[in-house]
Each structure stands twice: as structure tokens, then as C-alpha cells.
Chain A
Amino acid sequence: MQVRTLFFAAYRDAVGTTALQVDLPEGATVGDLVSGLRARGAPFDRLPELPAVAVNRTLVRGDAALSNGDEIAFLPPVAGG
């Protein structure tokens, strides 16, 4: 399956891109995606091991299963207001 990842603010600066298509095996979880990206090495190893992640605009935990076409956003600590 293929998912679309988005990087915001400090995470975008760290990895140098706003969006990336990623191929994953069926049944992969958010945690699998994060560890897979980090295993690519620089610059993706600059992402934290446990970043906040939203799947299709809803915050999820690392054990959340992913589906083909999901939009996965990596969200640094927020500072609105």
C-alpha cells in the first residue's frame, strides 16, 4: 500500500520536504512507518522516535494500523494562540 506523509514546521525543516509518498507492507502501523523512515538515515533520522502523528486529521497512537491512501501528518509540539 501507499500512504502520503506530511511534515510540518520544525519537522519539515528537519527532513527538508513537506510531503512524501511512502510504500508500506499491508498491515503496517504508524510505528512501522516512523521506524522505517528513521531507518533511511539522514535526514529522516532527525525525526523523533515517537512523534505526534495524525492519520486523516485525527491524532492516533503508534499502534494504529494504516490503510492505502491514508494521509499521515507528523506534528511537532504545537504553539497556537
Chain B
Amino acid sequence: MSTPAGSGSVPAARARRPGAPAPAAAVQREPIDPAQVLSRVGAPSDGAVLLFLGTVRDHADGRPVGGMRYETYEAMAAEVLDEIVREAAERLGTPRVAVVHRVGELGIGDVSVAIAVSSPHRESAYAASRHVIEEIKSRLPVWKHEHFVGGGARWVEGRPLDPRSGSEAESAPGGAGGR
């Protein structure tokens, strides 16, 4: 295997018809343009627009960090991210949610994730933005390899995935539902 499984850049919703709006969720290798993510939300009825950026920190546990490599299971991540956005839209009172997660080699300060939300009032915008980042951290198949300044690297400790969490849980006992 010369290429790691799941590499490359694929929009989250590959089945979309041509001419349909750009996907509201994507995993990509290219740098994130926050203004572009922000441009996917907003409506005349909205009084609140929120942009969250996750960036690469220069330290971990008191040690200086020089950079981070993000890996993903691309095909699954695209589906999970799409699902997270749909859930946020359904449960939190605004359909205007856009999220882009970056993978590959990132430097200090680089944007790893951008979440844009707009809604009539701030409460639902904050709730939806918070929901999306928390779900990303607990469900998205992404892993971080942290490189320390002066040498050494490690996989950042993550959260175990649980088949009972997420929207698949009720509909797919034993996993047969996803085929």
C-alpha cells in the first residue's frame, strides 16, 4: 500500500447532484478559508452569525509543540461530519451550519476546523456551534500526531468510539443497518 487508506480530499456529501449547493460539511487537505466557510451561512432572518476556529496550539502538557499531523478515515469522516451537521440543524433550531475539518500536516496557529452557524437569535447559534465541535471531538474518525520541538512525537490521547452513541445506534443493532 503506497497510499494510506482514506487519504485525499473528498467533499462530505459526494452523492449531491450537480448544481446543488456546496456541501455544508467537508474534510479537506487544503488550508481552510474561514471567510468561505462563513459565507455558507447567514440569512435575512438571522440576527446572530458565529464563527468558531480550532487552531494548532504551541504546547501540550508543558512541552513545546512544533506541529501536528492530522489523519482521518476519509470516507467515514465525510459521512459522520455530514450527519453531525444535519443533527445540529434538526435539533438546535437553525439549518444554517457549515463545517470544514482539515487533515494533513499543520503548523502552529493553522486552522484545523472551522464551524460557521447563523440563526435568528444568539442562543441557538452558540448551542449549535458548541454541539458541532463537541460531536467532532467525540465521533469524527480523526487522529492527531503531535511533534515536539527538539524531537519526539506521539499520538494525542483520544476518546474511544462507542457504537451506541450517534444517530446510528437506534437503527442499526448489530450494524446491519449501514450496509
Q: Which residues of A contact B (CB under 8 A)?
A: 6, 8-10, 12-13, 17-19, 30, 52, 54-61, 63-65, 67, 73, 75-81
Determine if B163 is an interface residue (Cβ-Cβ < 8 Å): yes
Cβ–Cβ contact A8 & B175, under 8 A: no
A79 / chain B contacts, CB cutoff of 8 Å: 137, 142-144, 155-159
B176 interfacial contact with A, CB 8 Å: yes
Complex formed: what's the CA distance from A48 to B159 in Å? 15
B54 within 8 A of A: yes
With A and B bound together, what is the CA distance between A61 and B5 in angstroms? 22
Chief secondary structure at chain B's binding surface: mixed
In the assembled complex, the CB of B135 is this many whole angstroms from the nearest CB of chain A, namely 9
**Out of B140, B145, B174, B177, which one reaches A78, CB within 8 Å?**
B140
Contact A78 B175, beta carbon cutoff 8 Å = no
Chain-A contact segment, one of B71-79, B88-96, B116-124 = B71-79
Question: Which residues does chain A contribute within 8 Å of B75, judged by CB atoms?
Answer: 57
B residues less than 8 Å from A80 (CB atoms): 70, 72, 101, 113, 136-137, 140-144
Residues of B within 8 A of A6 (CB): 5-6, 73
Given contacts A78-B158, A81-B113, contact A60 B175 (CB under 8 A): yes
B residues in contact (CB < 8 Å) with A: 1, 4-6, 54, 70-73, 75-76, 79, 101, 112-113, 133, 136-145, 155-163, 166, 168, 172, 174-179
Whether the pair A64, B175 counts as a contact (CB closer than 8 A) is: yes
- When the two chains form their complex, are residues A8 and B158 in contact, meaning their CB atoms are under 8 A apart? no
Distance of A60 Cα from B166 Cα, bound (Å) = 12
With known contacts A52-B161, A78-B161, A79-B142, A10–B155 Cβ distance under 8 A: yes
Of the candidates B6, B112, B141, B162, the one whose C-beta lies within 8 Å of that of A81 is B112
Identify the closest chain B residue to A61 (Cβ). B163
> What residues on A are CB-neighbors of B161 within 8 Å?
52, 54, 59, 75, 77-78
* Nearest chain B CB to A47 CB, angstrom units: 14
Q: Given A79-B137, A79-B144, 16 more contacts at CB 8 Å? A: A6-B73, A8-B6, A8-B141, A19-B1, A52-B160, A54-B161, A60-B163, A60-B178, A61-B174, A65-B174, A73-B73, A75-B141, A76-B143, A77-B160, A78-B140, A80-B144
